Chains A and B, each alone.
Chain A
Amino acid sequence: MSLEKVLFGFFIVLAATLNFGFFLGAIDRPELHHVYELAAALVVSVIATVLKFGDRTQIGAIHLSTSLVADLHLIAAAITWAFAIHVTGEGMTPSVTSSVVSLSGGALFANVVSVIILIIETVMLRR
């Protein structure tokens, strides 16, 4: 057991769970989707991406690409949120909330793929 592997698995699973926590709940109700959860999901997702840097294997490449997909989704969600609150000033209306949450739903899917790859990698490993 190495610390690196623990951290790697930890961040990938944490990114998925945080994302799931934010996503959970009716899609158009802003009180069910707290912005802190989104921020935490974004930060952890970025860290998970950086952890995957520099692995030249095929599985490493897939890991990195799913992670980049999740990041893109979450950043898009964050920008949508910031735009609605600060630029247009319309606030968290049901339509804005549902687009933020559905974007995070896309990220969740990518994160789930990441977790599945992690599981497959672990199962393949016989040492």
Chain B
Amino acid sequence: MVNSAFFIVLRRMRAPIIALVALYAVAVFGLTLVPGVDADGNPAPPMSFFHAFYFISYTATTIGFGEIPNAFSDAQRMWVIVCIYLTVVSWSYAVITLIALLQDKGFQNTLTVNRFMRRIRRLKEPFYLICGCGETGSLIARNFDRIGQAFVVLEKDELRVQELDLQDFKTDTPALAADAMLPDNLLLAGLKHPKCRGVLAVTNDEQANLGIAIAVRLLNPKIPVIARARSPSIAANMASFGTDYIINPFERFAEHLAEAVAAPERFRLVELLTGLPETLIPEPHRPPCGHWILCGYGRFGRAVAERLQAAGTTLTVIDPKQIDADRNIVGDGTEAVTLRQAGIDAALGIIAGTDDDVNNLSIAVTAKQLKPELFVVVRQNLAANGELFRAFNADFCMVPSRIVAQESIAILTTPLLARFLGLLHDQDEIWCRALVFRLQAICDGMIPTVYGIRLNASEAPAVWHALMYRRGISLGEILLDSTDRTQSLAAVPLLIERDNDVYLLPNANFKLVAGDHLLFASSLAVLDKLNLTLQNANELDYVLDGENDSGSWVWARLRRYRSAVRPQDVTTG
């Protein structure tokens, strides 16, 4: 497979090369037969093979040194005329064939695939395989790129892959235009690569996502696969063979909405922790509990209705296409008559949840005109319409691609976050509110980055070493600023996991133990500082003791010598 491009060249160049060899042979043989002439004009024997080949070699390539070794006889010149045309034509034929081959679509495809494979083989850092680079995929890709996570992209549409090249990625991302449903392409993209950490099946095609999930389960069962599914049957199918995470954007949004109705502070907290890092914090949503109108009763509408009713709201459902919607109401909600009929005067909120963006906006605008204080939830289907939805500025906007991207990034980059979110359900609103305030304070209006750090030899070597061999360290000590240790870093420690125990919101005096798994929230800049402290022994020394030494061996020996001579003289650096 690797040298298939080479074989294609050989195969295609067969005819021109044979033509070249044959015509050279004819020309050389001819020259060795035609009699020559010496300097005095007397007949001389023909050229030898050696001279004939020499002459033809420089004539055929149009170098043309002249008549070497002696001036030719007229008979030789006659034959050389024939030779020139024969050989130059055959060279041109060979060159033209080669150029045509280089422009050949199939050949270029082979070259691209070869290059892609080589780059995958050379990947040294752990990477994720993103299948499908539509709205969701590119959102995930952008965020991976921002946090410096390597990834590989498989996308069916060649144009999308070319667009990917134009995006300003920090890293050079291997991307291939190929159908991810075919297992061969998955393998090509490094499914069995030792550094492949997980697969995201986020194509627009449900069946393809299912196929990818199955392929990953069978071909490399060890790595997690995250799949997007819109319909419950596909999701159930995926769950049946153990897909690790199935993200249904409709269900997820319905959960969020119900959570926002039932426990707004807790929802706000979840929003801060799972949002796309370093984006603006969204306005707080305070959806009212009471009577709602739901337009559109498809998969999305049903998911929302189920959750909202469980959260204690009542619903009027408008959808002319569904028999179990409210049959007394005529129309699809885009007209004022329909909305009045649905009882908009008594309603506190409306959900424009059809699968058509224009209709959704029309419903939302009409409803807002009829009743400006109404809480409006709109479903945005295409990311391309984002500008319209921003202009309308709904109270709550549901973008499926964003939900899937947020959730996959949160799951993949910080597995500990899932555990933290699970613990949230036992906390009350006041607790959540306090934490929301702390998080908002550290990040200057942006969504904080949430990350897990394990205190082991590879992720935090300096701290691990200190904990194992030198001294105990409390949580507050590593959270000091390494540029000025009188300041603390603006990071919130959320959770510490030790074996099977978890410690929620540990305080500064918490004693760390090697092997602890810590979950923090902070800005990216603070994360870099914290990583430096945890990994660099000199930085850690400064943070812990205020020592400001270089770690070089000579100075360390000198210091030890001096402190041995004058034991009362403690080095402070």
Contact = CB atoms under 8 A, between A and B. Distances in A.
Interface of A: 35-36, 39, 43, 46-47, 50-51, 53-56, 78, 81-82, 85-86
A47 B22 contact: yes
A51 B109 CA distance: 25
Contacts of B12: 54
Contacts of A51: 14, 18
Given A39-B28, A39-B29, A43-B21, A54 B50 contact: no
9 contacts: A39-B49, A43-B21, A43-B25, A47-B22, A50-B14, A50-B17, A55-B11, A81-B49, A82-B49
A56 B11 CA distance: 10
Nearest to B25: A43
Interface string B10-42: 111110011001101100110010000000000
Contacts of A82: 49-50
Contacts of A47: 18, 21-22
B48 interface: yes
Given A54-B7, A54-B11, A85 B21 contact: no
A23 to B, nearest CB: 18
A35 B32 CA distance: 11
A82 to B, nearest CB: 4
B8 interface: yes
Nearest to B13: A53
A56 to B, nearest CB: 6
A86 B14 CA distance: 33
Contacts of B32: 36, 39
B11 A53 contact: yes
Nearest to B9: A54
Nearest to B51: A86
B28 A85 contact: no
A48 B28 CA distance: 19
Contact of A85 (B11, B14, B48): B48
B26 to A, nearest CB: 9
Interface of A, helix, strand, loop or mixed by DSSP: helix
A92 to B, nearest CB: 12
Given A39-B49, A46-B21, A50-B17, 20 more contacts: A35-B49, A36-B29, A36-B32, A39-B28, A47-B21, A47-B22, A50-B14, A50-B18, A50-B21, A51-B18, A53-B13, A54-B7, A54-B10, A56-B4, A81-B49, A82-B49, A82-B50, A85-B48, A86-B48, A86-B50
Contacts of B51: 86
Most chain B CB neighbours (cut-off 10 Å) among A36, A46, A51 = A46
A39 B48 CA distance: 11
Nearest to A60: B7
**Most chain B beta-carbon neighbours within 10 Å: one of A54, A85, A86:** A54
Contacts of B50: 82, 85-86
Contacts of B48: 85-86
A22 to B, nearest CB: 13
A35 B51 CA distance: 14
Question: Which interface residue of A39, A43, A50, A85 has the most chain B CB atoms within 10 A?
Answer: A50
A47 B22 CA distance: 8
B10 A53 contact: yes
Contacts of A50: 14, 17-18, 21
A17 B29 CA distance: 19
B89 to A, nearest CB: 18
A78 B17 CA distance: 20
A87 B262 CA distance: 100
Contact of A54 (B8, B22, B24, B29): B8
Nearest to A86: B50
Nearest to B26: A43
Contacts of A55: 11
A55 B50 CA distance: 33
Given A82-B50, A85-B48, A54 B14 contact: yes
Contacts of B24: 43
Contacts of B7: 54, 56
A43 to B, nearest CB: 4
B54 to A, nearest CB: 9
A13 to B, nearest CB: 17
B5 to A, nearest CB: 12
A46 to B, nearest CB: 5
Contacts of B8: 54
The 6 closest A-B pairs by CB, nearest first: A54-B11, A53-B10, A43-B25, A82-B50, A54-B10, A50-B17
A83 B11 CA distance: 34
A81 B11 CA distance: 33
A85 B24 CA distance: 22
A69 to B, nearest CB: 18
Contacts of B11: 53-55
Interface string B258-302: 000000000000000000000000000000000000000000000
B53 to A, nearest CB: 8
A10 B268 CA distance: 82
